[in-house]
Structure 1
Amino acid sequence: MLLRLPSRARRLAPALLVATALAAVPALAQPVHQDGQAAHAAHAAHANTVPAAAQRWATDAPLRAGMRQLREAAMLLEHYEMGHLDDTQRDNAVASIDAAVSNMVANCKLKPDADAALHGLLVKFIGAANAARAGKLAKTDVQAMSDALAQYPALFIDPDWGRDTD
């Protein structure tokens, strides 16, 4: 017997897969001998880690490229939310967010604390992409992405971040 999911669950399934993957990455980095509960506790501790103002985490090329891709997609979704773009352009921005997040998860090589901080930013883009995909993008979703973009240079060392917006 096949389980038939409600339409809302079918629409959220891709986002849940990405969110599950994001949550699993730090847990997978834990030593094999830790049980599931200990690994979860370790991830929860990392999730709230923020470096001191003078101490930010290093970035790698996939992270820097992904954040630029997210910034471009966020700008597009902001224009969409204001009514300046059509649904095809919205869908392209959502696909760009999905691709950037997937690429960063697959290719970024960060320390566990930095990885957890990055996931805290990515979840805001995933949430906005899901809202846009469902046709329910709101100003709060756009603001969440804007907040994440503002947090990025406070958390990570990316020397060209402010200079490459032209």
Structure 2
Amino acid sequence: MKQYLQPIAWGVAMASVVALASSFALSMAVGTAQAATAHDHSHPTPVAAQATPGERWATDAALREGMTRIHEVVQRSMPSAPGQPVSDESAAALQRDIEAATSYLIANCKLPEAADNALHGLLIDLLKGAEALSDAEQREQGLQRIFEALERYPQLFAEPVWREGFVAHLH
């Protein structure tokens, strides 16, 4: 009897582990997808929307808070030695923190439609960059995409806290 029950018990245990892992992976994917799409105002999202040449969009407190959170977590996650790769643990924490800050931005967004469109382009790049952090082979490209979004932010928005070179030292 043992010879019949033991394989069944192992099969049930393995199925439970696979189901739990699949559930976790699905919840992570759904959370990221919701963060990227939950803030749809039914209008297109231009990547480089600009007020007028030489002008930048006004910010609100939530935008300043969310983008500063992202900048700070990126800054904390970078290795102290130049050229040293980001560890798996730091990459996972950075991905989580960027997704959380992006969700905060989406939930608290109170910008005019055109400025909101400009922000959506940045959020897409931040989320895609964060997603790439989970794959060691794509991590550098993900970091680069995050850096570029952070560099574009003060070009698109009149951010009173950020200054010239605020992002440059991340590289």
Compute the displacement of 1:105 (Å): 0.7
Unmatched 5+ stretches in structure 2:
1-17
Is the 1:94–1:132 Cα contact (8 Å) retained in structure 2? yes
Compute the displacement of 1:15 (Å): 4.2
Q: 1:123 to 1:78 in 2, by over 3 A?
A: farther
1:64 is aligned to 2:64: yes
- Who is 2:8 aligned against? none
**C-alpha distance in 2 between matches for 1:115 and 1:9:** 33
1:153 is aligned to 2:154: yes
- Who is 2:144 aligned against? 143
Report the TM-score when normalising by structure 1: 0.70
Task: Provide Cα deviations, 1:86-122, integer angstroms capped at 9, x if missing partner.
Answer: 3333222222112211111111211111112111111
Q: Secondary structure at the match of 2:55?
A: coil
Q: Secondary structure at the match of 1:133?
A: coil
Aligned residue-pair number: 147
Q: 1:159 to 1:140 in 2, by over 3 A?
A: same
**C-alpha distance in 1 between matches for 2:130 and 2:22:** 15
Q: Secondary structure at the match of 1:115?
A: helix
**C-alpha distance in 2 between matches for 1:19 and 1:9:** 15
Supply the AA of the counterpart residue of 1:65: E
- Who is 1:116 aligned against? 117
The correspondence of residues 41-80 of structure 1 with structure 2, limited to 5 A, is 43-44=43-44, 46-48=45-47, 49-79=49-79
Task: Provide Cα deviations, 1:31-84, integer angstroms capped at 9, x if missing partner.
Answer: xxxxxxxx4xxx12x52532223321111111111111111233355539x545
**C-alpha distance in 1 between matches for 2:102 and 2:75:** 16
Q: 1:17 to 1:47 in 2, by over 3 A?
A: farther
**C-alpha distance in 1 between matches for 2:71 and 2:138:** 16
Q: Secondary structure at the match of 2:59?
A: coil
Supply the AA of the counterpart residue of 2:46: A
Compute the displacement of 1:135 (Å): 4.0
Identity of aligned residues (%): 32
Supply the AA of the counterpart residue of 1:70: I
Is the 1:57–1:155 Cα contact (8 Å) retained in structure 2? yes
- Who is 2:4 aligned against? none
- Who is 1:23 aligned against? 37
Compute the displacement of 1:14 (Å): 2.7
Unmatched 5+ stretches in structure 1:
28-38
Q: 1:164 to 1:143 in 2, by over 3 A?
A: closer
Larger-gyration structure (1/2): 2
Supply the AA of the counterpart residue of 2:106: V
Is the 1:66–1:104 Cα contact (8 Å) retained in structure 2? yes
